[in-house]
């Protein structure tokens, strides 16, 4: 064989080997080769904080976590469905299921992580019995958390709901309101900012914690829902069919680790509790 041809073929063969060795197989398990990156949408407090606590553990498994912060409950699911995110972490299953059904999105829960017990807060009144007649009380505007808020008020004896309405309760299902509470639904993220303008508000835990941190909000907790058998644990949501992805399984392992459990229990004074 011509010596020049041999040299050319050898060079081509060496180039092919180098090229192939630089390619990463799509079915490599998490932890193999250089870290893979997962983009995860989250509300700032406590979700993004919990993700940051889990990130070093996931990176040990070869998965780097890129956190994309949102301040509303709509865009994280839209971005996940559109493929801009690999997962999101901000919501409970009843909200996820209702939002997905209303928008015809193929999203699913991959794992439960924590619970934020919903609570009734006030800057004007120190005890539940201090709420006056016709007190102005705000509720989260999204249907699942509005229902959850109504159930909390009913459990405290402030109103009575239509029998059997369950987690689908709306303000129109209030059949008895002995204190004539003026119930008003507003965007959940606005409730801490308007708390001083009303008598009380049933606020989602993440928004109250964020307002404590950023707005220095000081308020009395008048009532809080029980964590026992509570269906509103916050979950890591993914596109249907992605639940078994190795990278996501590595993140779930990190989020449900003893280290993250200790972080949650030591950071939020009972306003956030592990759900695993």
Number of separate domains in the chain: 2
89 lies in the same domain as 162: no
Per cent of the chain over pLDDT 70 is 88
207 lies in the same domain as 131: yes
Q: Is residue 124 a contact partner of residue 199, using CB atoms and an 8 Å limit?
A: yes
**Antiparallel, parallel or unpaired: β 220-224 and 63-69:** unpaired
Taking only the tens place, the pLDDT of each residue in 148-194 is: 999 999 999 999 999 999 889 999 999 999 999 999 999 999 999 99
Segment 72-75 long-range contacts (CB within 8 Å, at least 24 positions apart):
72/187, 72/189, 73/43, 73/99, 73/142, 73/188, 74/99, 75/41
The 3-state DSSP class for residue 110 equals strand
pLDDT recorded at residue 214: 93
Provide the whole-model pTM: 0.75
pLDDT recorded at residue 226: 85
In a domain, 12, yes or no: no
Taking only the tens place, the pLDDT of each residue in 75-128 is: 999 999 999 999 999 999 999 999 999 999 999 999 999 999 999 999 999 999
In a domain, 262, yes or no: yes
195 lies in the same domain as 263: no
DSSP state of 44: I
- Lowest mean per-residue pLDDT among 144-148, 188-192, 223-227: 223-227
**Antiparallel, parallel or unpaired: β 182-186 and 136-140:** parallel
User: Would you mind telling me the total number of residues written for the chain in this entry?
Assistant: 276
78 lies in the same domain as 127: no
102 lies in the same domain as 139: no
At a CB cut-off of 8 Å and minimum separation 6, what does 276 contact? 111, 112, 113, 256, 261
CA–CA dist 140, 148 (Å, integer): 9
186 lies in the same domain as 243: no
47 lies in the same domain as 93: yes
CA–CA dist 81, 58 (Å, integer): 23
CA–CA dist 179, 177 (Å, integer): 6
pLDDT recorded at residue 14: 40
Q: Report CA-CA distances (Å) from 218 to 46, 192, 212, 213.
A: 18, 10, 7, 10
101 lies in the same domain as 179: no
51 lies in the same domain as 141: no
- In the listed set 224, 243, 258, which residue is the last one of a domain according to the structure? 224
66 lies in the same domain as 112: yes
Tokens of 4: 């020049």
Task: Return the higher-pLDDT residue of 87 and 207.
Answer: 87
For the four alpha carbons of 120, 156, 276 and 112, in that order, the dihedral sign comes to negative
CA–CA dist 52, 68 (Å, integer): 11
Q: Give the range of the structural domain holding residue 157, as residue numbers without chain letter.
A: 119-224
Rounded to the nearest 10 degrees, the angle between the axes of helix 258-267 and helix 49-60 is 160
Rounded to the nearest 10 degrees, the angle between the axes of helix 246-255 and helix 49-60 is 120
At a CB cut-off of 8 Å and minimum separation 6, what does 219 contact? 121, 122, 123, 195, 208
b/e per residue, 169-192, with b = 16+ CB within 10 A?
bebebbeeeeeebebebeebbebb
* Burial category of 228 from C-beta neighbours within 10 Å (exposed 0-12, middle 13-18, buried 19 and up): exposed
What CATH number is associated with residue 86?
3.40.190.10
Tokens of 67: 């956190």
- Lowest mean per-residue pLDDT among 80-84, 225-229, 252-256: 225-229
Of 183, 110, 107, give the one whose Cα is nearest residue 152: 183
């Amino acid at each position: 064989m011509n010596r020049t041809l041999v040299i050319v073929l050898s060079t081509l063969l060496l180039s092919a080997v180098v090229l192939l060795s630089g390619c990463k197989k799509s079915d490599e398990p998490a932890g193999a080769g250089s870290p893979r990156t997962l983009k995860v949408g989250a509300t700032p407090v406590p979700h993004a904080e919990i993700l940051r606590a889990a990130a070093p553990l996931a990176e040990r498994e070869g998965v780097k976590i890129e956190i994309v912060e949102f301040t509303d409950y709509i865009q994280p699911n839209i971005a996940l469905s559109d493929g801009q995110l690999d997962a999101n972490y901000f919501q409970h299953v009843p909200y996820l299921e209702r939002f997905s059904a209303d928008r015809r999105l193929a999203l699913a829960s991959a794992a439960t992580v924590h619970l934020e017990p919903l609570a009734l807060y006030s800057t004007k009144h120190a005890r539940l019995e201090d709420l006056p007649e016709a007190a102005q009380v705000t509720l989260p505007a999204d249907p699942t958390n509005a229902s959850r808020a109504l159930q909390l008020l009913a459990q405290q004896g402030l109103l009575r709901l239509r029998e059997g309405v369950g987690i689908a309760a709306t303000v129109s299902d209030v059949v008895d309101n002995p204190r004539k509470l003026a119930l008003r639904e507003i965007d959940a993220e606005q409730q801490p900012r308007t708390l001083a303008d009303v008598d009380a508000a049933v606020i989602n835990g993440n928004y109250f914690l964020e307002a404590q941190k950023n707005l220095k909000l000081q308020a009395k907790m008048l009532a809080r829902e029980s964590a026992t058998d509570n269906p509103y644990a916050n979950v890591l949501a993914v596109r249907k069919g992605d639940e078994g992805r190795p990278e996501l399984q590595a993140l779930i392992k990190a989020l449900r680790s003893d280290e993250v459990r200790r972080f949650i229990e030591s950071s939020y004074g009972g306003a956030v509790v592990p759900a695993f």
